[in-house]
Structure 1
Amino acid sequence: MDRFNSYHYGEGKTGDGQHVTFTCPTDTAIEEVQEILKNKFRDFDIPSAHQVNVGHGAYGMYSRYKIKQHKYAGGGPNDGGNWGFIEVLEIKNPPDGRCGIVIHECNSCTGAVFTEWATLTDANKAFKKNWLEEKTNVVFPLSPGFKRRVVCGLMTPWFYAVGDQELFGDFTFPEGLQNDPKYKLGQRFIIEDYSGDLILKTCLGCRHYTIKETLHPYTEHCYRIVQWDDGTFWDDKSGSIGRSIRPLRDDELWIDEAIQQFHRLLSGKSKNFTINFTDGSKFVGVLKQTSEQKDLPTAEGRYYVVVHIKGVTKAKKGWVDFKPNLVVSNLFKHITLKFKDQGKDIERIKVEDQVVTRGGKKWSGVFYSSAESS
């Protein structure tokens, strides 16, 4: 059997720093290929650069990835100079296991945002139903197949990277940054908002711009636009984003460590964590599961299930293959979502037999939703 019948995408750099996109068999680790590129190859001579132009009305955006635009709607600029568009994209060669089905939105007021979807059908249905909806941040998470939402603001989403642009999380590495003495790339900041809550953000760079006074054209004022790692941005011309904003001090680094450890706990990469304070005291974080959660089947394998559907007398029986992921963490949720897509509601599910995959994946993290303040 041809090993390349099943493959995955990756990106790496040669010893001379040239950016390379590659595919390799699924039984070969991407990190292994990246190491070979770095140590064995200086550069490659590529006859022609591969770029895709994705049309946005009379305009378009380039990408180094193979992208197919399935749906598009947009308009502007109007008399006020405002514009916006929304599109459904299928990225056919997403690197590093990224989601290749997205709905990308962008406008002149708030910038860009994209949502990830389980299937192209899910994304097309959500687009068709809600493309005129202003509050997609509310309706999209309630739609079947929704995975997550990423706010980009002024940042360019990763799938519109071109040439040798680096990927920085969900974004392309920002270009045209100025050397600002305070807002430096990678600097962590503590922001106290107007309600008194503390928010930790990472600066992704700063751009300077000048504005001339209308009545005094020789008088110029310099302003800054600061970009944050959560996709938001701050323009110091329009005012503060809270009561205070300051760099994270050395004696506050435990805050950063606690957030990172907490993310590992939520994603199932650890079962507990400890933060040591300078006075000798400790903070211990442990995820305590309820008795109902402990009984949920979360291990990869095959399960023989009996499913009782609401309004149907005869139960459905059969074997189901299951592998947990960030969308479905347990077998019951997996089955419930499958029937929900068919417009059917589940009354109860019973597992009568199972064959757990040896060395298979088992979910141990947690899903959560943000609490709304009253």
Structure 2
Amino acid sequence: MPRLAQPLSDSQIKRAKAQTKLVKLFDGHGLYLEIHPSGGKFWRFRYRKADGKETTIGFGPYPEVSLVEARNKRTAARRVLLEGGDPLQQREQMRRESVRATEYTFRKVATEWHQLKEKAWSPAYAHNVLHRLELDIFPDLGRLPIDEVTHRDLIDVFRKIEARGAHEIAKRNKAVCSQIFSYAIQTGVAQRNLVVDMKDVLQPVPSGNFPAISSDELPRFLQALRSNEACMQPLTRIGLRLLMLVFVRTSELIETPWTEIEEGKSEWIIPWYRMKLGKRRLNPIKKDHFVPLSRQSLQLLGDLRKLTGGGRFLFPNLRDRNRPMSNNAFLKALERMGYKGDMSGHGFRALAMSTIKEKLGYRHEVVDRQLAHVEKNKVTRAYDRAEFIDERRVMMQAWADYIDSLS
């Protein structure tokens, strides 16, 4: 019968001196202390794996790891063995998880996701998504390991956004976080998409499109516009009038270079790469947009040319003329007119669509083409190439005359 090792004592370990060869002091049940010729003392635990082979695992140096601590580590390792595990493999797994926790933070995973997705986004949209993350999400969640983020962490972030009245931004950030967690699960660094469970944590936001007045409200709007024009900057006044007459998207108007506008010519061609669907990185719609210009539109463009015709843009930024103006100028003007929350630059498109159909009697397809809407069904889009150019010319002049008649 093998002789059992006599348990070690602290005094025995302290008295032990280094020899010319490696010395081992055994404590029993596989635990022993190695004393190296250099004087270093290190705890080790010998055990037999499931395949019958012997191996050892280090528990650390003495006295940093005391005798009591080494015995506790031995007990924990023996418990792993009893459960059919391997202490060395378990330690490696814990090390990997620790590295993963510190390496795969929410910011790192979100940045990887953004870099992957931005290839299919327009530069402006990609910038906006990252800007919202940096402003609202990363300050609180960025440093946390993504697999340790809790429901409470997310709720606190979203509530902070809501507290400043940005309910729509909170909703969009919630959707973005859900996509980030989905990406994390697919790449193996998270186990669960917490956002999927969060059905009722945000305050309800009324659904709907961009604010827009109805056809019946147009006369009162025009009266308010006339009353406030004297207080507006010339570019803002002309811009609002043009938006109403041509009803292109706000960005398509304010980003227009003078090279697109031929003086005196009663049409304007917006190149496809400036259109909403042309800016897509994947499968852009490469179709220029035709805008007939009414007499009233030409008059406004003539007035505008006297102001900014020598520069790059129709509507330059007052601080940097090499950049277009901000669409906030139009929103602020509408706010001063008393239409905050009731009308927007984009709302002129909805106003034109409803009024031209209801009051002027034009077919939906004709107005829809002027709005540059594209048929979602690819097959239908391939066969439906009618542009109604002549009818659109007449319609745009009739629309401008109708506005004048209300004035």
Which protein is richer in strand relative to its size?
A: 1
Q: Do both share a fold (TM > 0.5)? A: no
TM value normalised by structure 1: 0.21
Structure showing greater Rg: 2
